[in-house]
């Protein structure tokens, strides 16, 4: 009942927005090349999948997003652990990571295309760069957010640096890490689209450019829906994984309450 109630409110808001949008477009006779009606977007969405056009391109974009996300997240976790275990590394490496993050990925994307070509590799690297920083920041925060009494206890037990990391710091950091992963998984879809905008001959970003050039705005909106579904699905999968891996987190919150 609670799940149904939680899902009912967003669904009601969605129906109201779509209904208002449809009514305004029809009442004021807004041209379709400016803002299409939701019914036209739905028709373009169905036609795109009926022709098996959207499915293949969405699979390519999804593969690039997931692969780049996994690579960037793994690198972010590795660098974060290295920085916390060896504090000197933070002064050496972290400023360069921050500097890289401040550079817009739209500016880096053309270089990736030049260096790695128009294939999947350049898009995966762009996605990895987008996913890296949110994971890295949360890994560092989580590994450092350890109660000092617990550290003192591990020290009294003569635990090594790696034992402290394995049995204390890393389990404590898991909620932080998943917070970064949840942010990165959404950014990964954006990174894949940025790479496809710069240079690609397939993928959802490529289809969006085609739709814009031909002023098929209904198809462009339908592709936005495809991207939204992709992002929501990836986020939902990651949340289910988090619920199984960090199962004690909610139990602790309930106990404290």
**Domain of residue 173, CATH code:** 1.10.3720.10
* Gap between the Cα atoms of 216 and 53, Å rounded: 15
Question: Per the domain annotation, does 101 fall within a domain?
Answer: yes
| 16 assigned to some structural domain | no
| Residue 6 falls inside a structural domain | no
Residue 67 domain flag: yes
What's the chain's Rg over C-alpha atoms?
22
Q: Please report where in the chains the tokens 């490529």 appear, as a residue.
A: 206
pLDDT at 52: 64
80 within domain boundaries: yes
Phi-psi region of 41 (alpha: psi -120 to 50; beta: other; left: phi over 0): alpha
Q: Which domain holds residue 219?
A: 37-256
Which pLDDT belongs to residue 87? 77
Q: Identify whether 143 is part of a domain.
A: yes
Q: How many domains does the chain have?
A: 1
In a domain, 24, yes or no: no
* CA 131 to mean position of chain CA atoms: 7
Per-residue confidence (pLDDT) for residue 2, from 0 to 100: 56
Q: Tell me the C-alpha distance between 1 and 30, whole Å.
A: 41
Say if 14 falls within a structural domain: no
CA gap 230, 212 in Å, rounded: 21
- Walk along the chain (257 residues) in steps of 10 and give the mean pLDDT of each run: 59 78 78 78 81 81 92 92 81 79 76 79 88 89 79 72 77 87 91 84 85 85 89 91 76 44
């Amino acid at each position: 009942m609670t799940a149904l109630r939680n899902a009912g409110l967003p669904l009601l808001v969605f129906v109201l927005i779509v209904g208002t949008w449809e009514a305004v477009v029809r009442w004021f006779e807004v041209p379709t090349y400016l803002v299409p009606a939701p019914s036209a977007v739905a028709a373009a969405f169905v036609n795109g999948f009926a022709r098996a056009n959207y499915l293949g391109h969405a699979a390519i974009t999804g593969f690039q997003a997931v692969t780049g996300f996994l690579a960037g997240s793994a690198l972010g976790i590795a660098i974060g652990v290295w920085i916390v275990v060896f504090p000197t590394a933070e002064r050496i490496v972290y400023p360069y990571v921050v500097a890289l993050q401040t550079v817009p990925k739209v500016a880096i994307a053309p270089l990736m295309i030049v260096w790695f070509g128009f294939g999947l590799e350049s898009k995966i690297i762009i996605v990895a760069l987008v996913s890296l920083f949110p994971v890295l920041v949360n890994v560092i925060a989580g590994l450092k957010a350890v109660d000092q009494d617990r550290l003192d206890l591990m020290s009294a037990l003569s635990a090594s640096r790696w034992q402290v990391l394995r049995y204390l710091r890393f389990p404590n950091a898991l909620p932080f890490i998943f917070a970064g992963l949840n942010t990165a998984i959404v950014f990964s879809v954006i990174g894949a689209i940025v790479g496809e905008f710069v240079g690609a001959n397939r993928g959802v970003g490529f289809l969006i450019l085609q739709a814009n050039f031909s002023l098929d705005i209904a198809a462009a909106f339908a592709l936005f829906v495809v991207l939204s579904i992709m992002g929501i699905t990836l986020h939902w999968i990651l949340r289910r994984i988090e619920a199984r891996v960090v199962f004690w987190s909610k139990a602790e919150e309930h106990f404290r309450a």
